[in-house]
Amino acid sequence: MKQIILGITGSIAAYKAADIASRLTKNNILVHTIMTASGTKFITPLTLQTLTKNKVYTDMFEEIYYPDVRHISLAQKADCCVIAPATANIIGKLASGIADDMLSTVIMAIRDKPVIICPAMNTAMYENPVTQNNMDKLRAYGYQFVDPKESRLACGDLGKGALAEVETIVASVKKAIGEE
């Protein structure tokens, strides 16, 4: 059975991660969910745990005994990692090599496996030259992107920055793990 890591960051689009997790699970893909602290403000870990039937990781220093180093073992057993939604914050962290939470640490430990980033943010944030530079830098390292769509955003603006369609994200993950 293929295994993926689903990273969820602090965007209003986080609620769509439940649909992504559900669809991947129904496709017989084992989903390990990692949520940033801000991601848990938009959707609860219990929702993802219920859908995936797996523990949801939110704290790198959680006091639960594991016989392995959790952030390393998750990175090693995953066939792919998808971050949906991905904020400008996580994109900036990864581009700068910052690993200060469970999600960024696991991603930094992934080698030779696809990492798919699905941005979701306000148009001005998405088009900001710093964000664009960070994405270019990550592309040069081999990270893949599923571009956001143009839509009416949560803030009321109309522009590019809305999370890509769930079907598009799921198809990208399935292609990356050879399950098309």
pLDDT in tens, 116-166: 999 999 999 999 999 999 999 999 999 999 999 988 777 777 778 899 999
In the structure encoding, which two tokens stand for residue 151, read together?
Answer: 């839509």
Quote the pLDDT of residue 152: 76
Helices (H), 27-165: 45-52, 70-77, 88-96, 102-109, 123-127, 129-140
Tens of pLDDT, residue by residue over 27-43, are 999 999 999 999 999 99
Q: pTM for this structure?
A: 0.93
Q: 22-25: list long-range contacts, CB under 8 Å, 24+ apart.
A: 22/51, 23/166, 23/170, 24/170, 24/173, 25/51, 25/52, 25/53
Per-residue pLDDT band for 66 (boundaries 50, 70, 90) equals low
Q: Is 155 a catalytic residue?
A: yes
